[in-house]
Amino acid sequence: MNSSDLNKLHIDHIGSLVRPAKLKEAFARHDRKQAPDQDLKKAQDDAICEVIQKQEEQGLPVVTDGEFRRHNFQESFSECVTGFDVPKDVSRYYEKRNVNENPLERAEQDFDEAGPAIVTRRGTVERLKLVRNLPLEEFRFAQTVATAPVKVTVLGPDRIAQRFKWEISLSVYQGLDDFVDHVVQIERQIIAELVNAGCKYIQIDAPGYTAYVDKISLQRMRSRGEDPEQNFQRSIEADNALIDGFSGVTFGIHICRGNARTIDPKTGKLVPQWHREGSYDAIAEKLFNSLKHHRILLEYDSERAGGFEPLRLVPKDKIIVLGLVSTKNSGMESVDDLKRRMDQASKFLPLDQLALSPQCGFGGIDSKVLSENEMWQKLATIVRTAEQIWR
């Protein structure tokens, strides 16, 4: 499948998948220093082989390795560089981190606590240095297993900048402009090596663009002496610079409001939380028309995303992937419901420019995730719906 065909896909998913129990245990034992690196790698290899096979059996036209080599999606950058001021042993952070677990509420976290870079807001002790290309390692292995094209996810500069404690790092970087310019240089090397290895579909993870429509996030930027509009413009320019000049590659960009979730004590079911809220209206025209990515993957599974009206602003050369299927709710969407919502969206953007996906990744930092069976049911529903819409 060439890049032109990849651009037109009507089925997608975000990247991370639910980890099988054996892999969860392997991570836990490794994090506690109870198992060597090779044991974890063997568990990862086995799990990735199995999950790629299952994706292909489901009829997914593009597959991922489930992000099974990462604790968290943000490690696609943080594990590749040195220079952040982080504790010596950050792996135990995931066991003890303190977050709001109230169902159907905004999930707040202390970004200033001592934890991994980008997951928490960290400064730098020296200029960042690329020491590893984790996305390349992931792609090379997955490519040996898959018969379908393999998509790789890379964290975007916007999220990296939002989680950079620039105000205590001015002896290292002159400010956010200097820092983001350097991040782009580093990430272009990561991407160049992926492209040279044959990767045809790269998704930039940029969940933080919804911060520019979220009142609390905007207040926090201003309290740090930042101009949100300047941050927004800088991020768009950085994302465009990131992908400039890589011909023959499909670039997607994923935008959401946070993938937090918890268990409802009344029902025992998985229910949503979120980190940001607000419709796309205030940023849609600039976002859709300024970003040069081929596919924009948008969260659209709840009222917090607003309506489909902003889709009227999408230019004719882009595909919008609608994240209508929740990864944060045990409730099962039906084919009829998804077809109805796609029909609503098509009133603002032609079906040829639309695609269907989950709203975010199925994996996550915490153990509160859908079961594997629930995940596969949801992916199967997406495939069946797409087959009926785009016959």
Instruction: Give the mean pLDDT of the chain.
Output: 92
How far is Cα 323 from Cα 300, in angstroms, rounded to an integer? 5
Beta bridge pairs of residue 321: 297, 355
pLDDT tens, position by position, 158-206:
999 999 999 999 999 999 999 999 999 999 999 999 999 999 999 999 9
The residue whose two tokens read 């918890």 is: 262
Element containing residue 7 per DSSP (H, E): helix 3-7
Q: Looking at residues 90-102, what average pLDDT do you find?
A: 68
Q: How many CA within 13 A on the CB side of residue 156? A: 28
pLDDT tens, position by position, 261-297:
788 888 888 887 767 777 889 999 999 999 999 999 9
Element containing residue 65 per DSSP (H, E): none
Instruction: Output the pLDDT for position 3.
Output: 72
Instruction: Output the pLDDT for position 297.
Output: 97
How far is Cα 222 from Cα 229, in angstroms, rounded to an integer? 10
Q: How many CA within 13 A on the CB side of residue 263? A: 9
More confident residue, 111 or 199: 199
The residue whose two tokens read 């997406």 is: 382
Res. 362: pLDDT tops 70:
yes
More confident residue, 348 or 108: 348
**Percent of residues, the chain, with pLDDT higher than 90:** 78
Q: Looking at residues 105-117, what average pLDDT do you find?
A: 81
Residue type, 353: Q
User: Where residue 97 falls among pLDDT bands split at 50, 70, 90?
Assistant: low
Instruction: Output the pLDDT for position 96.
Output: 66
List alpha helices for the chain, DSSP H: 3-7, 21-31, 37-58, 75-78, 93-96, 134-145, 157-162, 176-196, 215-223, 228-243, 281-290, 335-345, 372-389
Instruction: Output the pLDDT for position 62.
Output: 97
Instruction: Output the pLDDT for position 365.
Output: 62
- Find out whether 283 and 213 touch, Cβ atoms under 8 Å: yes
Contacts for 131 with CB less than 8 Å, ≥ 6 apart: 80, 81, 82
Q: Looking at residues 206-221, what average pLDDT do you find?
A: 93
